[in-house]
Each structure stands twice: as C-alpha cells, then as structure tokens.
Structure 1
Amino acid sequence: MHIKIPADRIGVLVGPSGSVKSTLEEKTGATLDIDSDTGAVEIIAGEEDPIMAMRLAEVVRAIARGFSPERAYSLLEEEMLMLDVIDLSRICNTKSDMARIKGRIIGKDGRTREITEKLTGVGISVYGKTVGIIGYPEQIRIARAAIEMLIDGAPHGAVYGYLEKKNQELVSSSIDEL
C-alpha cells in the first residue's frame, strides 16, 4: 500500500529518533518505508495479520491529516473506530473562502471544534484543505452533519442545538444498550 503525506507531517510520522515509526511497526507487525524527500509512505504487510496493515494505513492517513500520533493510535486499538476526511477544496474557491470556512469549523479560540468533539465523542483535526474526524460511525455521521451545517453557513447556535439534541440521543441509546 502506498500513501502520500505532506512534507511537514513526515517528522511527526517518524517521531523523535524514529519512535513513532517503530511503535507503529511493533503494534502492527507491518513495515513502514518512508521517503522523506517525496512524502511517499509504503506499508508492507507483516506475515501474521495483514488486516493490521490496512489499519496502519488509516493511522498514517490520520497523522497526515493533522492528528497527533497518540490520537491516531486509537485507530489501531479499537477496530470500530474510523477516520473520515472532508475535503474543503471542493467547496472553497478562494483562499479567503477556505480561511472563513476553517474559521467557522474551529470557532473562536477553538471553541466550536471543542464543543463538537465533546458532544459527539469524536476527535477533529482541521489541517490544510481538509477536516479529519476520528470516531465511531454514528458519532462521525453526527459530527460530519454539524460541520456541513457550518460550511453551509448555519448559525453556530443552531449547530450547537443540533449537537446537543444528537448528544441526548447518543446518551439515551447507549443507556438502552445497557
């Protein structure tokens, strides 16, 4: 498997003295071949568990999309967690559009992103021209809908109301499962 990552994320993937790369290789049994000049990452599946190589690809994509290695590791540890990426470049025509949309998603002092993460249980990273979301499928669906509302220009208050309503539904459905 081959993945291309931004040049400024290569150091994060490798980690201090190669610590992140070696941790990922230990946890998955796969091998990472990273070309620091081009940002090309090759994932070579280990003998024992080829599915771990696919999960490793998700971790590499998450790190490439701005998540810290610690947050990305959760994709290896919990098989139901997923990474979803929203490409803002399809929506934004100019740099000022991109800055405005990213600003709406992040909010003043990161407040909107923080509220979205808290009420849905996901991790969100706004990086480059993308928004990355790590969470369970239902959580991602709700967070994505909230982010799309912000992109479409919905008032922040309306988005917070939507998130609080959905948070109550998530809480009550998890209580019902007990």
Structure 2
Amino acid sequence: MTQHVKIPQDRIGVLIGEGGETLRRIEREAEVRLDVDSENGAVAVEKTGDPLRGMKGPDIVRAIGRGFDPDVALSLLDDDMRMFDLVDIDRAARNDNDLRRKKGRLIGENGRTRELVEELTGADVVIYGSTFGIVGDPKQVEIARSAAEMLLDGAPHGSVYSFLERKRAEELKNKGLEYHDFSG
C-alpha cells in the first residue's frame, strides 16, 4: 500500500540528503520505498517490509518536511511509543501579523521558550512555517501540545512554564525521582 505525503520544496534536499544518503537510510530503516517528485514536493511512501516499521514511514517524511532533522525523524522507529504531532499555528491566527506574533510567543526570546518546552517535556520541538512540530512519547507530546496551545491562546509565558515544571515534577515523581528547579 502506498501513502502520499507532500512536503515543502525547501525540505526536499534534506529528505534526499547528500547523494541520496538520507533517502536510502529512511528506505532501509523504515522498510519503505520513497518516490520523491522534486518539482512539487509529493512523496509516495510504499511499505516494502515489516508493516509496523513501514507505518512510520509517512510520519518520518512528514517530520522532515516540517523541519525536523532526519535523525530525530528516524527516532520514530526507536520504539513503538514515539510519535509525531503537529499544531497548526495558522488555525489560531487571525492574519499574517497575528501568525508572526503567535510564532514569536512559541519561539520566545532567543528561542528560550521552545528550548524550555523541549527541556521540560523531553520531546523534540520544531517551529517551521506555520506549524509547531513535536516528536516524543505520547505523554511528552500531550504536554508539549498543551503548552503550545496555552501560548497560542494568550496565556502568560510564566504560567506556561509553571505548568511545564509541574508536569515535569509529576513525571519524575511517578518514576520515583525528585525534581529540583535550579533556574532561580
């Protein structure tokens, strides 16, 4: 069965990699065959081996298309629990100025908000175009998505950071560890 994914033109080179190296690696590790139309960014993903690994193929391509490094995208194969999710910033914006403002809220000054979301959730996060991409386990993805939606809805950064720290502390407590905030 073949699935079709469309990625931005400026990400086709990243998907293919130098001399086709990344494309071949994805095909080998995800057990898929990729047919890339470099004119329009359409990618056909055909499963060739293990169906479970092959199911991750389209998400790997989508993740690279939404700005993730190929290594992070391929980490979706590391275990069955890793997943890829997208928050559409454009849907929360009223116009182009609002979109820029909302992206700025997600990125934060010098990228600090994005970094804190990654640090406190353990997920990988990328803001590309009008999307907020997340790669992680289901709990990490859920918390990162919630934080992004809070920021998009206008919540103060401090409130979102407190939410993230509380979730991090809960997660560590569930693992029998203790969380110490040394930032202040």
TM-score by length of 1: 0.95
Instruction: State the Cα distance separating 1:145 from its structure 2 match.
Output: 1.0
Equivalent residue number for residue 40 of structure 1: 42
Equivalent residue number for residue 6 of structure 1: 8
Equivalent residue number for residue 59 of structure 1: 60
Instruction: State the Cα distance separating 1:120 from its structure 2 match.
Output: 0.5
Number of aligned residue pairs: 175
Equivalent residue number for residue 132 of structure 1: 133
Percent identical pairs in the alignment equals: 47
Structure 2: 5+ residue runs without aligned partners?
Answer: 178-184
Supply the distance in 2 between the matched residues of 1:64 and 1:4 (Cα, whole angstroms): 8
Whether 1:108 aligns to 2:109 is yes
Supply the distance in 1 between the matched residues of 2:63 and 2:166 (Cα, whole angstroms): 28
Supply the distance in 2 between the matched residues of 1:38 and 1:24 (Cα, whole angstroms): 20
Equivalent residue number for residue 164 of structure 1: 165
Supply the distance in 1 between the matched residues of 2:104 and 2:175 (Cα, whole angstroms): 32
Instruction: State the Cα distance separating 1:138 from its structure 2 match.
Output: 0.9
Instruction: State the Cα distance separating 1:88 from its structure 2 match.
Output: 1.4
Q: CA RMSD in A?
A: 1.1
Structure 1: 5+ residue runs without aligned partners?
Answer: none
Equivalent residue number for residue 28 of structure 1: 30
Secondary structure class of the residue paired with 1:175: coil
Deviations 1:104-145 (A, max 9, x none): 001001000101100000011101111101111111111111
Supply the distance in 2 between the matched residues of 1:89 and 1:162 (Cα, whole angstroms): 24
Q: Which amino acid aligns with 2:50?
A: D
Instruction: State the Cα distance separating 1:26 from its structure 2 match.
Output: 1.1
Q: Which amino acid aligns with 1:105?
A: L
Equivalent residue number for residue 150 of structure 1: 151
User: Following TM superposition, where does structure 1 have runs of at least 4 consecutive aligned residues deviating by more than 4 angstroms?
Assistant: none
Secondary structure class of the residue paired with 2:155: coil
Supply the distance in 2 between the matched residues of 1:85 and 1:121 (Cα, whole angstroms): 16
Deviations 1:46-65 (A, max 9, x none): 1x312222111111010011
Secondary structure class of the residue paired with 1:62: helix
Secondary structure class of the residue paired with 1:133: strand
Instruction: State the Cα distance separating 1:174 from its structure 2 match.
Output: 2.1
Supply the distance in 1 between the matched residues of 2:124 and 2:147 (Cα, whole angstroms): 14
Equivalent residue number for residue 21 of structure 2: 19
Supply the distance in 2 between the matched residues of 1:20 and 1:89 (Cα, whole angstroms): 30
